[in-house]
């Protein structure tokens, strides 16, 4: 397989699918109700999706470096869903939330279910037999990345959707997720032997051998994802304090 992905035949269908879905999204965003910032967010989400599914990053992630594969997962699970949700007007999100198939996420138990789905899927994607099996079949890795985008939307919905959690419930939601994702990074960074068969036989790439690459993959999860989540935790904490002050003022009135 070369870096364009031509050898396994996935580049053409991926490009066609990205073009079709991108065209549909941009036509939708061209209607009244979308701001220039929201259109830019959608365009960014589409651009990152192409980066994840095709090109040098895909080749490095599938053939050479676990750390590159981790970058793909982080983009698919957090960055792309965040841009998709930021690029969608609130009234559209509200209509989606009111759909019978999606209404569960606005219920009190919906956040717990969304958190469980996110944690189970992100951990499941890194179970050695699952990841090694997908890497042996490149189309499965593309489907897996698309699935991570969908799961990322579910995971982020309780803190950014129309019926988002408020106060310390939102803080707790993200803090628990932060902790559980961090454990995965620690495991990969400090596990004493190689976890994935796929990367054991590859030669050093960009001066990185397999052992250091695995540690780097765990470090990327800790250094990139954890500060992002920590910043969000601080933001939610400050918002929770503000919500508490507003509640007290309302009760006093």
Average pLDDT over residues 23-29: 59
**pLDDT tens, 215-253?**
999 988 887 765 556 666 666 666 666 655 454 444 444
Q: What is the mean pLDDT of the chain?
A: 80
Model pTM score: 0.80
DSSP assignments along 2-19, one per residue: -TT-TTTT-HHHHHHHHH
CA–CA distance, 170 with 160 (Å, rounded to integer): 10
CA–CA distance, 128 with 139 (Å, rounded to integer): 18
CA–CA distance, 159 with 18 (Å, rounded to integer): 27
Q: How would residue 18 be classed by pLDDT, with cut points 50, 70 and 90?
A: low
| Backbone dihedral region for residue 193 (phi beyond 0: left; psi -120 to 50: alpha; all else: beta) | beta
For residue 31, the model assigns a pLDDT of: 61
Q: How would residue 213 be classed by pLDDT, with cut points 50, 70 and 90?
A: very high
Token pair for 184: 């995965």
């Amino acid at each position: 397989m070369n870096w364009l992905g031509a050898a396994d035949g996935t580049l053409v269908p991926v490009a066609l699918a990205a073009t079709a879905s991108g065209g549909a999204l941009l036509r939708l965003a061209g209607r009244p109700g979308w701001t220039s910032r929201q259109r830019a967010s959608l365009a960014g989400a589409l651009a990152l999706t192409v980066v994840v599914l095709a090109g040098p990053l895909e080749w490095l992630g599938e053939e050479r470096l676990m750390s590159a594969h981790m970058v793909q997962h982080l983009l698919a699970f957090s960055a792309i869903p965040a841009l998709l949700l930021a690029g969608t007007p609130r009234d559209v999100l509200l209509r989606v939330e009111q759909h019978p198939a999606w209404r569960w996420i606005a219920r009190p138990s919906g956040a717990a279910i969304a958190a469980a789905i996110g944690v189970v899927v992100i951990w499941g994607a890194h179970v050695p037999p699952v990841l090694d099996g997908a890497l042996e079949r490149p189309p499965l890795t593309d489907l897996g990345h698309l699935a991570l985008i969908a799961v990322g939307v579910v995971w982020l919905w309780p803190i950014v959707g129309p019926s988002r959690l408020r106060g310390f419930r939102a803080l707790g939601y993200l803090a628990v997720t932060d902790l559980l994702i961090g454990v995965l990074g620690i495991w990969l960074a400090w596990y004493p032997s190689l976890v994935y068969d796929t990367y054991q036989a590859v030669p050093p790439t960009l001066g990185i051998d397999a052992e250091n690459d695995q540690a780097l993959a765990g470090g990327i999860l800790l250094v990139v994802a954890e500060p992002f989540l920590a910043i969000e935790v601080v933001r939610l904490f400050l918002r929770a304090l503000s919500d508490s002050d507003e509640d007290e003022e309302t009760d006093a009135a």
